[in-house]
Structures are given as C-alpha cells and as structure tokens.
Amino acid sequence: MTFEPWTIKYRPKTSREVAGNKTAVEKLRGWIDSWVEGPPSKRAVLLYGPAGVGKTSVSEALASERGWDLVEINASDKRSGEILSKIAGLASSQATLFSKGRLILLDEVDGINLREDQGAITTILAIIKNTQYPMILTANDPWDPKTRPLREACLQVELKRIGIRDGLPLLKTILAKEEIRTSDDALKYIIDKDRGDIRSILNDIQVLSSKAKTLTMDDVSLLSGRDRTESIFEVLRVIFNSRTVAAARRALSISDVDQEMLFQWIFENTPYQIPNPHELEQAVSALADADMYFARIKKTQSWHLLSYALDLMTAGVAIAKQSPTSGWVPMRFPQRISSMSRTRGSRDLRKRIAGAIGEKTHVSVRRAQQLYFPLIRFEHEHSPERFEQIASWLKAKDDLDEMFSEEFS
Ligand SMILES: Nc1ncnc2c1ncn2[C@@H]1O[C@H](COP(=O)(O)OP(=O)(O)O)[C@@H](O)[C@H]1O
Ligand SMILES: [Mg+2]
C-alpha cells in the first residue's frame, strides 16, 4: 500500500492503547471478563459518544486481545435484516470448551433506518436476551428516541471527547514516530479545533504535515476558516483543493451522500483535478485501496474497515495532490455516465468495452466501468496518443470511438 492513513497505522491494538476514558474502558473490560462466569445480568453494552473517540477501535481491540472473533454488523448495511438473523444464530449458539470466543458488535445502531427496518429493534432486543456472547452496541446519540428500548436493555458506557490531557501525549508519540517536528501549541489548537475527534485530528495532521514534515501553528491555523455545512461540491472542493480532509469526513456523516456515490464523484473528478501524473498515480492507488476495502466490507461484513476506506478516498487523495490545479476546473457529475446508458444499444456497447478491459485486467464488468472508464475518458480528452495505445491494447478501438462519439453528441 503506497498510502497508509494514520488512522489505520496507529489504531489501538489493545484496549490499553486506547487514549483517554480510562474508567469507561476499565468498566468495559470488567464487564467482558465477568462473562467467564456465564452471561451477566446485562448481556449487552451500549457504548456511546461522539465520532472518532474510539468506540469501534476499543471494541476491535477487546476482541483481538482475547483472540476472539469479532462478529459485526453496521446499521448502514442495506441488508441488515438478513445479517441480523445470521447474527442471532451466531450469538445464541452455545459455546463449547474448545470453541473460540466471540464479541458481537452492532456498530452505529442509531443509524438504523427504522422506516425501512421495521422490526430491527425487536430483533436486536431478542438477540440481546439470548446471546451467549458479550455484545457491544455503539451509538453517537444515546438519547435518540428510536433506540430507547435498546438503551434500557443495555449497560451504558460513555466515551467522552478526548481532551488535551489525553490527546496531546497520543499525538506527540505519533508525530515523533513519523519524525515530524511540531509544537504543543499547534497540537493543542488542533485538538480543540477538531473537538477531540481523534480520527479527524489524525487525518488533518497527516495531510498538513505531509509536505514539509513539520506541523506548525501556521499549518494548523489553515483549519480555522473551514465550513461545516458542506454540499457535495464543497466536499470535493475540500478534498481536491485544500490541505485538510476532516471537513470532508464530517460532511460524509451529516450529508445524505451515500459513500459509494461519493467514491464515484471523487474517482470521476480525480484525473481532472490532479493533472500531475505522479500525483494522479498516487491518488488512484489510494482510491484503488479504498475500493478494495469496500469490496472486502461487502464480502465479509468487516464494517470496522469502513472508516479506513473513507480515509483513503479523502485523505489519500488530498495528500496525493501536492501541486495546485491551474485555473478553475469544474467538477463533473458522475451521473453523466449513468445517464449515457439510456439506450439498450449503448448499454451493450459499454458492456463490451468493459468486457475487453476485464479480459486484460481481470476485473468484473461493473468494476471495469467504475475503475477504468474515467481514466480512459481522461486520456481520450487529453492525450489522443495514449488513448490510441489503450484502445489498441484492448482491441476495442471501434467500440471506444463509438462510445465517446455518443457521449459528446
Ligand atoms: N481513544 C483513542 N485512542 C487512540 N486512537 C484513537 C482513539 N479514538 C480514535 N482513535 C483513532 O481514530 C480512528 C477512528 O476511531 P474509531 O474507533 O473508528 O472511532 P469511533 O468508532 O468512536 O467513531 C482509530 O482507528 C484510531 O486511529
Ligand atoms: Mg465507529
């Protein structure tokens, strides 16, 4: 991997490495350890607190330090009904002397869409009642009325924002490992600015320090003017044009832009916004890694990877772009592509081209369209010579010419 977000590199491996909230983490550990004597009176914990303070990481760490399997579901998964019933089975099956331990994690339960997921709360309550393994439910807002029945069924543990006392030593250790010179003032400023959201802080300082290997007050004060109400264009503008990505990450959670849609937007615009070929290569490779995470999440339900995929597609692209775009480059709508497949003929045409790409690169038709069409389109517009090379390599010159002539007509 060419680019590794610090949120991945420095995620806590054990619950002791989790910064701050010592009492809460202790309480979690005590509750988990009490399971050796059989299920305690509360079989589930509602672990709540603001974004980026370690809810998912501490759950992961608790499972891995005990050598347990982490069985997880994230509320944003569209197939939550199906997965919940699978989890019900895994939770209620009796442990044997030799079976591996399990921790059941229902991440971001307050994200459940109750209109679409009627019955989800009832199902979760039933799972809590019958589970033979400890269960952790996480939420940002514990007072959300729709999750109230869950709250009552759980032991409640709160993770608070990370303050300067706990945040500063954590950041200093990380920056020392990265050999980046900084000052306490700059770090305190950023902890304050990002309101103790460690994920945003790590993303911000990684981007801000990537050029000069220093992190000064001047660097972090760039964050002060940023906007908090972001539209998709604002998200893209931030990713491509400023040196901070935390706003983009936050925009993901407050806007209703679907993350895969945002991925399309970013991917689509990357070749235009990052004209330098070396930087483009780095950005595309971060996007390819993000895409690989998305695929793995879908396949194995490893939802804790989601935040890393999002970091890759935001921070990864922001860091890759070092030189400014000359002049104003408009953002493009990815819909433009999907609207092209209006007619059956052009759908077949695109499938044929994607098939040709798939043969050469061993990707599916759908992924060929996602990953390669934007790049080929870019070459078509910018470098007729490279376009010709690609077309002949794919043996799809006629099809490609036809597709682009349709597209621009
Ligand atoms: N308390 C913490 N101590 C150390 N690192 C943290 C802490 N909280 C968050 N992080 C960092 O931020 C990343 C995201 O944290 P995460 O557990 O996903 O937060 P949450 O689930 O509360 O939104 C982690 O991978 C880790 O790198
Ligand atoms: Mg989380």
CATH number for the domain running over 21-158:
3.40.50.300
Average pLDDT for residues 299-322, to the nearest whole number?
A: 82
Per-residue pLDDT for 54 more than 70?
yes
Domain ranges of the chain: 21-158, 164-320, 335-407
Give the Å distances, CA to CA, from 204 to 94, 294, 405: 45, 22, 42
Per-residue pLDDT for 224 more than 60?
no
Task: Indicate whether this model's pTM tops 0.85.
Answer: no
CA of 54 to the centre of ligand 1 (A): 4
Exposure pattern of 281-305 as b/e (b: 16+ CB <10 Å)?
ebbbbbbebbbebbeebeeebebbb
List, chain by chain if needed, residues with CB within 6 Å of any ligand 1 atom: 7, 10-12, 18-20, 51-57, 162, 170, 198-199, 202, 307
Per-residue pLDDT for 208 more than 70?
yes
Least confident of 37-46, 125-134, 222-231, 365-374: 222-231
Helix extents (H) in 45-104: 55-65, 80-92
CB 266 within 8 A of CB 283: no
Average pLDDT for residues 11-21, to the nearest whole number?
A: 95
pLDDT digits (tens, 9 = 90+) for 108-120: 888 776 556 667 8
Of 53, 159, 303, best ligand 1 pocket probe by most atoms within 8 Å of the beta carbon: 53
Residue 341: what pLDDT?
A: 39
Per-residue pLDDT for 368 more than 90?
no
pLDDT digits (tens, 9 = 90+) for 238-258: 677 655 566 556 555 544 456
Residue 229: what pLDDT?
A: 32
| Six token digits for residue 371 | 């990953």
Round to whole Å and give the CA distance between 57 and 241.
30
